[in-house]
Amino acid sequence: MNRTLKRKSRAWFAMASCIVAFALQSCSSVDPERVKQEDGYLYGYGKGGSPEEAELEAKRDLIANGLEASMRKRSGESRRVAVTLETARGIPLETKRVAELKGADSSSVTLRVREEDWEKFEAGREASLRKELAPALARVSDSRPYADRVAAAAAALSRLEIAGVDAVLTVEDGKTEILSDAIVESLAEQTAALSLALSPSNGILSADSTVTATLTDASGAVLAGVPLAALWSRDGTDVGAKTAVARTDARGTVLFRVPAVEGAESPSVTLRVTAAFADGASADARRTATRLSTVDERLSAEATFVIGDSLSDRFGPFVRVESGSFTMGAVPGDKRAPKREAARAAETGAYEIAAGPVTNAQYRMFLDATGYAVAPDFFDNPEYTLADQPVVGITRADAEAFASWLSGVVGSAVRLPSEAEWEKAAKAGRNVAFPWGDESASDGSRANCRGNGKFKRPSPVGSFPDGANPWGMQDMAGNVWELVASPAGEPQMAKGGSWMEGPNDVRISNRRETDPAKTYADVGFRVVMEVK
């Protein structure tokens, strides 16, 4: 009998030992990071300052893994689903703790759930979410004010993302159309029918003035309460405060104040206004914000303005030339000059002429201020678009449009010089072959012409100071040919030679016939201002 009791005691002890060993293996004695995962289960791992924190983090990880598995199974999409701790806390999923490790300062936990249990649970949760959120699709396109529809869309999309089902929850059970996609598409279609206009759409503004953005629908009705974002920039760099967001008022408008740009190399600033639907996304719904930002871009407007404070100072200096006669054409004994350059007496009235040709920076101000439809050829070629290079790739009509605009800026009539005015200014009261005198340009120090050793393209204005004439006129020999105002019925002429010509071809008397409707990589212009 005693032997029987001893055998039973040993059996019970062995059984108890097994139970304890199993408990230790499946719970507190097992490092969660070493748990061998079995097929048919979903796992979640968490670490925290307490067992409760670790378990909540493990639950969050398990739910994220489950949502990712559901996504791959249904749509083939594979991406990490962001599940917040608050979301995990609110999902009543029953899990099993399979490992736990307690330390002095932290705890680690591993949870798991059967895949079939997860799918059953998630089906019920999705059914509840569909019942709650499917009506949002109708609210996005109903008769309520547009701003309210946008807010409803942002709220629904945020809710779907935070719940982790934005990529899997369908509009109807058993169908394939994803609810979040349908909401975004509906909002995008409506937004594409809207119109955002800026007033003025271009022009000269003073610092601290305002630009008005107006939002209307396809019928022309204004839309109130819609968030708009504005960003000011100059040459691709943000200026002023960070992006400003405001809602349209009862007239469908928002006023955006022009930032100050004192001391800026360029007085031009660009305003870009877009919808700001992305701001309506919940803080934890980053994917929703990204998706709404693509809708924002569908509703946008952009305009560039020139800040007019001291604008006229950016087009000088001008050199005054008094009225009177002078000898036009080739100097005596110049065997390089053909008969058409023969010396002859000419007379001009008084005028002021720009000391240098019109630069890219100056021409861009004209484009920005007027919205002129045609940009110069080569404006997309970095070899021709430095701010202080002469503008090229323009027609005579382009040059005259610039001069007409500049007339309003400086308050005096601005135009192209006549050929006589151009030569008189280049000779600076002397009868010489080149602006600096009669020495050849072959030494490479006086003009940007072929073989100068420095440039194989238009050079920044004033790069050859030794080539200036006594009146301070720059680049009247070489760099770019300059259009002059040819009389009606006569060919269009250009003066001065260019970077493509040889040293002997940059003579003051030389002239080149051009097509006024064509553009050239070596033809620009300078302007004169009539004396009041």
Last residue of a domain, one of 118, 147, 171: 118
Q: Does residue 490 share a domain with residue 362?
A: yes
Q: Does residue 238 share a domain with residue 255?
A: yes
Of 200, 179, 93, nearest in space to 136 by CA: 179
Are 503 and 441 contacting, i.e. CB atoms less than 8 angstroms apart?
yes
Are 87 and 66 contacting, i.e. CB atoms less than 8 angstroms apart?
no
> Which residue pairs, CB below 8 angstroms and at least 24 apart, start in 229-232?
229/273, 229/274, 229/275, 229/276, 229/279, 229/296, 230/254, 230/256, 230/271, 230/272, 230/273, 231/271, 231/272, 232/256, 232/258, 232/259, 232/269, 232/270, 232/271
CATH number at 303 reads 2.60.40.10
Q: Is residue 17 part of a domain?
A: no
The 3-state DSSP class for residue 531 equals coil
Q: Does residue 273 share a domain with residue 152?
A: no
291: Cα within 13 Å, side-chain hemisphere: 25
Q: Which residue bears the tokens 């108890």?
A: 16
Last residue of a domain, one of 281, 308, 335: 308
Q: What is the pLDDT of residue 19?
A: 36
**Which residue range forms the structural domain that includes residue 494?**
312-530
Q: Does residue 209 share a domain with residue 186?
A: no
Number of domain units in the chain:
4
Q: Is residue 8 part of a domain?
A: no
Q: Is residue 15 part of a domain?
A: no
Q: Does residue 240 share a domain with residue 97?
A: no
Token pair recorded at residue 158: 């945020």
Chunked mean pLDDT (size 10), the chain, 532 residues: 42 37 41 76 94 94 93 83 90 93 90 95 94 92 92 94 91 91 94 94 86 96 96 82 86 91 72 95 93 94 86 89 96 89 96 97 93 92 95 98 94 96 98 95 93 94 97 97 94 97 95 96 97 84
CATH number at 468 reads 3.90.1580.10
What is the C-alpha separation between 495 and 492, in angstroms, rounded?
10
Q: What is the pLDDT of residue 307?
A: 84
Q: Does residue 338 share a domain with residue 481?
A: yes
Q: Is residue 57 part of a domain?
A: yes
Token pair recorded at residue 1: 């009998």
Q: Does residue 324 share a domain with residue 289?
A: no
Q: Is residue 490 part of a domain?
A: yes
Q: Does residue 381 share a domain with residue 486?
A: yes
Q: Does residue 515 share a domain with residue 434?
A: yes
Last residue of a domain, one of 94, 118, 142: 118
Q: Is residue 282 part of a domain?
A: yes
DSSP single-letter state for residue 415: E
Q: Is residue 23 part of a domain?
A: no
Q: Does residue 265 share a domain with residue 188?
A: no
Q: Does residue 495 share a domain with residue 426?
A: yes
Of 283, 233, 236, nearest in space to 82 by CA: 283
Q: Is residue 353 part of a domain?
A: yes
Q: Does residue 203 share a domain with residue 181?
A: no
Helix or strand holding residue 4 (H, E): helix 2-26
CATH number at 69 reads 3.10.28.20
